[in-house]
Amino acid sequence: MHFLRRNLAFFRLAVLTNLEYRVNFFTDAILQPFCTSLIELTLWFAVFASATSTTIGGFTREYYLAYALWTAFVARIATSWMYEFKMIEEIDSGSINGLLVRPMSFFEYYLSQLLGYKFITTVISLLIPLAMITFFQLPTIYSRIPLALLLITYYLVLVHTIGFIVSSMAFHLNRIYSLTGTKNLALWLVSGELVPVDLLPEPYKTWVLDLPFCNGVYIPVAYITGRVGTNMVWHGFMTTTVGLAVFSIIAVFMWRWGLRKYVGTGA
Amino acid sequence: MSIVIETENLSRTYKTYDKPEGLWESVRGFWARKYTEKVALAPTTLKIESGQIIGLVGANGAGKTTLLKMLSGLIHPSTGSARVLGFEPWKRDNRYLRRMSILLGQKNQLWWDISPIDSFSLLMEIYDLNREDAKKRVAMLAEMLECTHVLHTQLRRLSLGERMKMEIIGSLLHSPDVLFLDEPTIGLDIIAQTTIRKFLGDYVRDKGPTVILTSHYMDDIAKLADRLLLISKGSIVYDGTVNAFITNAKSALKISFGLSNPLENSMPLTLDAILDKGQQEFSVKVMAEELAPALSKITSLPGVLDLKIEEADFEDIIRAFLEKESRVLSTRSPHES
Amino acid sequence: MSLTGLQKYLRLYSSFFKASFIADMEYRVNFLTRIFGDVFWYLAQIVMFEVLYLHTDKIGTWNVHQTRVFLGLLFVVDAIYMVIFSDNLDRLTERVRKGEMDLLLTKPVDSQFMLSCQRVNTALLGNLTIASSWLIYSLFKLPHLEPLKLLWLIVLIPTGVISLYSIRFMFGATAIIFTRSENLQFMWYQVYKLGMRPDHIYFPWLKFLLLTLFPVAIVASVPARAVLDPTNYWLFAWSIAWTAVILWLSHRFWNFCLKYYSSASS
């Protein structure tokens, strides 16, 4: 019970803090994805304008417009950088001491905050693609949205675990913020943000689908826009679980190793 | 003696707006903003001769840094004029910039990740210095500052005192004719402070640049400055020598004594000081002219022990003076000169 | 500027380079992650277009080979910009906020130069090599290449870098006037993203905007057109002239901002 209450408090803390920094929040959750989606939409318009057939990979232009619109917003939700930076800074600056002496874990402290922030981001920012999709009557199966959101939430735990591993390197190295950026760029390649994964040729398509990293963007959005069926969502839950298992083991190891070094040197 | 720095009615005011609190006020503040004018420096007229060291003293926000920044060309004045070495500083003529130097005590100008020697190499290029001469100069300055052994260590690995010494070398590398030092010894330990103070004294005596020095450490001012400028709430309230200031200022004295039994009743000693009931140890500040009546009151008490009279130090004198001036100045409107 | 003046600035720049390199060698992890980061970014751009071209022959007016050349030019111009200017301009707003500009402004060197060029990102020279390799590879694989057209690149690549710099600089310099200008910096990146695609995929009025008000099309689209499309002298002349104009504008704007500059109190 303590666990739940405590983490709900962190969740709430994140919601309130982020609502206070309204301008930043607006830029991050709304303005940025909005601009990104507009740019992507122009690309798809151009692709179809010069294409010889009305479908690409079996889907018409409307499907891609819907995909691009959803992707821009969902991608912001499924990426972690702000809380990862906070974790790195916490370790870098030594203020983690304040957390280590308390009866709670660094991992859950930031996970709850991350989920709180993503929750409020989701609630507010997804209204925009929702509105635009409805207005332009682009392909979207509304009843599928809840399950998609569930997958994204589950995926966020994996994202956080990876971020946790990255931040634990701050015990050993200085100034690793660029590592976050690089990791996010690598994930960007396989997330489905650039192009729907179903357009990739084999064997790459299967490889990417078997990795857990497309569960943040491609599978949820493809599911909502009707490109894939529910079986892919279950596949997504499964690969995320496998990924969680693998990365959790690494995380525990990295954390213990780093903490031992940290406490040992009293740095 | 030529005049190196002269200002005429030089002033600077800022317009700030009161940031409203709360949601409705913020919305109203969107189109109806209340601006207040803050006087950072009231119209100031100064003449400073070549080779002098000027100590600029004042509380935080009094206007010292504003004056320095205007004379170094970093900000434009609101009214008035100034000429340093014959140039208008804010025109930022390269010929002027080559002959002046500013050291901002809490900021680094040298690169953080490389050794001071590598930073000096950069400065040599910026100021177009002859490399051989400049290198000799670095060696000489480092020796005077006792920091030769860390010249090749990265700046971020040095202690605060060593870093400051390197910053000083960096600011003197191009042999400036005018030197603005803003809190050069802030945050340093006593040994570093003494070394730097001695160095500055020797350097100025040898090379003769004109220096304006601000500091919160009165020792810096007392030991280095030929001339003292006291600034309070944007106005210069004293301009003269340090010695004249100490002599003319109504100096305070400190009387300390003990009683064999606690004081039975509270007793006023002077206009400002009251001896509290129940206390046994006392330490009171009195002005010189109040000394006699205060002493006669004290000696009338029963069981007085260890009576001591000390002169207040320079720091206390300045503080008292500034407090008094700030009381006077607050009754004046900011638009009076 | 006189010849001695030019020589002085060149010598000064080589000092900046040397100092930056020494500083960069300190942070080996950072060195590597930045190279990898950019490689992933290059891969992303390439993969996206390669996948799209599996399903269609043309996007806009170009086929896959031509778009590869476009990407190569984008990478090269971007890499040059990243090496020379990015660190300095990205930190501009922060420096203004922290009042760190003072020490730059009191040096007898042009302040815009000091601010824009002081820090050279030597780690990214590796990326410039990778970018150039891709460009050469894509030119090689181009079915009909007219080698003489490559001569245009000698002028148009620097033009692209300079116009990228000038726009970025002006966005950044606004930090002096609006101290909280993170959103402007964000807007800059969106504008730049528009330049990362061939300009002929855009609607005509947007295309026009990208050649005039926010001339990011000069960054990669114009050099690419020089190599891939029939020679358009008017376009090239316009690009070069307009770049000179916005560079001059950036300098004027900078002086204007400086006048407003009141440094943060110490």
B141-150, B164-173, B288-297, C152-161 — which is least confidently predicted? B288-297
Interface test with A, best of C57, C87, C179, C201 (most A CBs within 10 A): C201
Q: Residues 98..117 of C with a Cβ closer than 8 Å to B: which?
A: 99-100, 102-103, 105-109, 111
Q: What is the pLDDT of residue C162?
A: 95
| Subunit contact A32:C186, Cβ cutoff 8 A | yes
pLDDT bracket for residue B99 (50, 70, 90): very high
Is there a contact between B182 and B70 (Cβ–Cβ < 8 Å)? no
- Chain C residues whose CB is inside 8 A of the A182 CB are 33-34, 36-37, 40
Instruction: Please give the structure tokens belonging to residue B177.
Output: 């004719």
For C11, the closest chain B residue by CA position comes to B125
**C-alpha A35: how far from its chain's center?**
18
DSSP string, B135-193: HHHHHHHHHHTT-GGGTTS-GGGS-HHHHHHHHHHHHHTT--SEEEEESTTTT--HHHH
For B89, the closest chain C residue by CA position comes to C106
Interface test with B, best of C103, C112, C119, C120 (most B CBs within 10 A): C103
SS3 B55: strand
DSSP string, C7-58: HHHHHHHHHHHHHHHHHHHH-HHHHHHHHHHHHHHHHHHHHHHHHHHHH-S-
Neighbours, chain C (3 or more CB pairs < 8 A): A, B
The ipTM value here is: 0.84
* pTM for this prediction: 0.79
pLDDT bracket for residue C237 (50, 70, 90): very high
Q: What is the pLDDT of residue B336?
A: 37
> Please, what is the average pLDDT of chain A?
86
Sign of CA dihedral C168, C169, C170, C175: positive
**Of all residues in chain C, what percent are helix, strand and coil, respectively (each to 5)?**
80, 0, 20
Place of tokens 């009754």: B331
Q: Could you give the CA distance from residue B39 to residue B20 in angstroms, rounded to a whole number?
A: 21
Phi-psi domain of B275 (left: phi exceeds 0; alpha: psi -120 through 50; beta: other): beta
Q: Is the pLDDT of residue A72 over 60?
A: yes
CA of B97 vs chain C CAs: smallest distance (Å): 5
Q: Could you give the CA distance from residue C169 to residue C84 in angstroms, rounded to a whole number?
A: 13
Q: What is the domain partition of chain C in residue ranges?
A: 3-260
Q: What is the pLDDT of residue B326?
A: 66
Partner residue facing C23 (CB), from B102, B113, B125:
B113
Partner residue facing A185 (CB), from C29, C40, C206:
C40
A21-25, A81-85, C72-76, C236-240 — which is least confidently predicted? A21-25
Q: What is the pLDDT of residues B167-205, one digit of tens each?
A: 999 999 999 999 999 888 888 888 888 899 899 999 988
Q: Could you give the CA distance from residue A64 to residue A68 in angstroms, rounded to a whole number?
A: 6
Q: Could you give the CA distance from residue A62 to residue C172 in angstroms, rounded to a whole number?
A: 38
Chains B, C: CB pairs < 8 Å: 80
In eight-state DSSP terms, residue B335 is T
Query: In b/e form, how buried is each residue of C137-150, taking b as 16+ CB within 10 angstroms?
Result: ebbeebeeeeeeee
CA of A147 vs chain C CAs: smallest distance (Å): 28
Q: Could you give the CA distance from residue A234 to residue B81 in angstroms, rounded to a whole number?
A: 77
Q: What is the pLDDT of residues A168-178, one digit of tens each?
A: 888 888 778 88
Structural domains counted in chain A: 1
| Subunit contact A47:C61, Cβ cutoff 8 A | no
Neighbours, chain B (3 or more CB pairs < 8 A): C
Verify B-A touch: 3 or more CB pairs within 8 A.
no
Per mean pLDDT, which of B51-65, B142-156, B249-263 is the most reliable? B142-156
Q: Could you give the CA distance from residue A150 to residue A157 in angstroms, rounded to a whole number?
A: 11
Is there a contact between C124 and C266 (Cβ–Cβ < 8 Å)? no
Partner residue facing C15 (CB), from B69, B97, B122:
B122
- Chain C residues whose CB is inside 8 A of the B106 CB are 266
Average pLDDT over residues A224-252: 93
End-to-end CA distance of chain B: 29
For A36, the closest chain C residue by CA position comes to C190
3-state DSSP of A161-230: HHHHHHHHHHHCCCCCHHHHHHHHHHHHHHHCCCCCHHHCCCCHHHHHHHCHHHHCCHHHHHHHCCCCCH
| Subunit contact C47:A42, Cβ cutoff 8 A | no
Partner B contacted by C190 (CB < 8 A):
no
Average pLDDT over residues B303-326: 75
Verify C-A touch: 3 or more CB pairs within 8 A.
yes
Instruction: Name the residue range of residue A110's domain.
Output: 2-265
Partner residue facing A178 (CB), from C37, C57, C194:
C37
> Minimal CA–CA distance to C111: which of C249, C251, C7, C3?
C251
CA of C27 vs chain B CAs: smallest distance (Å): 9
